[in-house]
């Protein structure tokens, strides 16, 4: 089939997902993308731009896929696109946490809702996200003061399902477990408030004060000019830092993942977990909060040792791993093998078949 993928926020996990689909799908998928910046304006206005620029050329495609950063209802109306459409939720504006001093804007949530009502199928990247969305949806709808669309939540639920994303592990095929003399902690997440870097560094400062040996690799994309937590950490932990800042090439990224022993997440927003999945594939021990999508990504047999309840539990478990990391050499191999289920080569068949099913069902209905 010929498929067009509209991505108005082409960066981070959005980029990883789209690139993987294009690379591994048996269908011909053409990406149309906008850079990953000005997310609020992308959500408000990208539908207008895509419809203006591409409405005529899109009619040749059998299927259109878009992400939650597009107003699909506006796009459909403006472009007159009549073929089936899939909406993929990387995140949603009903449940996304807000930075300090920022108030909730219901308009963004409404964009997600009308887009979900417009799509033939809504795909969510974890059970966690779909359940949270379904919990919040009726509460959000009931905020409308009068003339409430009461059927909307049930309509959306009927055409929503979970599908786990694929990971392109090809850049990591040559990564091997290594034995560092001093354990290396990895941060490979975005430098944003929802990843809670202040909690991560607070724990590291305490361990450093205790004299616990560790080195540090700080990766991840940075959309801020001067993220103060990272600047403070660069100074306070400078003797322990191996790498500080985003790396452009996959080869460099793979090299730093290979050097790491423990990957830590302190996130309050995570609907899948590309970064920790890649790190675990590269034989890195995870230490993840017992919330969000992490209990789904991590096999249950690893929950007790590698999921933590709160900051105090994180401190205790990280201390233990740093002092006994060599005891987990076999576990690192088991964790890597457990991540292979997310390899695009194994995941792509479900996506390709689903795309065909959506088009077939739409043709029958027509």
- List pLDDT tens digits, range 305-343: 999 999 999 999 999 999 999 999 999 999 999 999 999
Those residues whose C-beta lies under 8 Å from the C-beta of residue 337, and which sit 6 or more positions away, are: none
Calpha distance 287→310 (Å, rounded): 12
Q: Are residues 322 and 213 in contact, defined by beta-carbon separation less than 8 angstroms?
A: yes
Residue percentage of the chain with pLDDT more than 90: 93
Calpha distance 75→81 (Å, rounded): 8
Burial group, residue 195, by CB count within 10 angstroms (0-12, 13-18, 19+): buried
Intrachain domains 2-166+344-365 and 170-342 with the same fold: yes
- HSE-up of residue 241 (Cα within 13 Å, Cβ side): 17
Q: Are residues 315 and 309 in contact, defined by beta-carbon separation less than 8 angstroms?
A: no
The pLDDT assigned to 224 comes to 63
Helix (H) or strand (E) holding 289: strand 285-289
For domain 170-342, give the fold: Rossmann fold (3.40.50)
95 confidence band (pLDDT: 50, 70, 90): very high
Candidates 257, 277, 262; CA nearest to 324 is 262
> Is a pLDDT exceeding 80 seen at residue 366?
no
Length of the chain: 366
Q: Nearest 5°: CA angle at 260, between 14 and 168? A: 30
For domain 2-166+344-365, give the fold: Rossmann fold (3.40.50)
Q: Cα-flanking dihedrals φ and ψ of residue 130, to 5°?
A: -65, -45
The pLDDT assigned to 358 comes to 97
Calpha distance 121→84 (Å, rounded): 9
Residue boundaries of the structural domains of the chain? 2-166+344-365, 170-342
């Amino acid at each position: 089939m010929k498929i067009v993928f509209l991505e108005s926020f082409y960066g981070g996990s959005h980029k990883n997902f789209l690139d993987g689909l294009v690379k591994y799908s048996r269908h011909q998928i053409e990406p149309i993308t906008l850079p990953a910046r000005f997310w609020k304006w992308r959500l408000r206005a990208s539908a207008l731009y895509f419809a203006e620029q591409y409405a005529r050329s899109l009619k040749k495609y059998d299927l259109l896929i878009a992400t939650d950063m597009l107003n699909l209802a506006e796009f459909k109306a403006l472009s007159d696109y009549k073929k089936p459409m899939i909406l993929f939720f990387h995140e949603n504006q009903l449940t996304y946490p807000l930075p300090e001093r920022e108030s909730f804007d219901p308009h963004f949530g409404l964009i997600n809702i009308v887009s979900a009502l417009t799509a033939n199928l809504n795909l969510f990247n974890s059970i966690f996200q779909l359940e949270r969305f379904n919990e919040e949806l009726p509460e959000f709808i009931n905020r409308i003061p009068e003339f409430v669309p009461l059927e909307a939540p049930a309509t959306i639920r009927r055409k929503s399902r979970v599908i786990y994303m694929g990971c392109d592990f090809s850049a990591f095929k040559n990564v091997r477990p290594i034995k560092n003399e001093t354990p290396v902690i990895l941060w490979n997440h975005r430098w944003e408030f929802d990843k809670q870097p202040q909690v991560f560094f607070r724990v590291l400062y305490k361990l450093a004060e205790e004299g616990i040996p560790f080195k540090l690799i700080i990766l991840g994309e940075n959309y801020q000019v001067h993220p103060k937590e990272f600047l403070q950490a660069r100074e306070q932990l400078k003797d322990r830092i191996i790498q500080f800042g985003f790396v452009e090439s996959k080869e460099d990224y793979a090299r730093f993942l290979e050097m790491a022993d423990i990957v830590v997440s302190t996130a309050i927003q995570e609907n899948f977990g590309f970064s920790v999945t890649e790190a675990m594939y590269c034989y890195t021990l995870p230490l993840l909060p017992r919330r969000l999508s992490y209990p789904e990504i991590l096999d249950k047999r690893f929950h007790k040792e590698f999921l933590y309840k709160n900051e105090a539990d994180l401190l205790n478990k990280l201390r233990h791993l740093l002092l006994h990391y060599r005891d987990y050499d076999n576990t690192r191999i088991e964790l890597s093998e457990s991540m292979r289920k997310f390899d695009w080569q194994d995941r792509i068949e479900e996506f390709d078949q689903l795309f065909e099913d959506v088009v077939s069902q739409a043709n029958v209905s027509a």
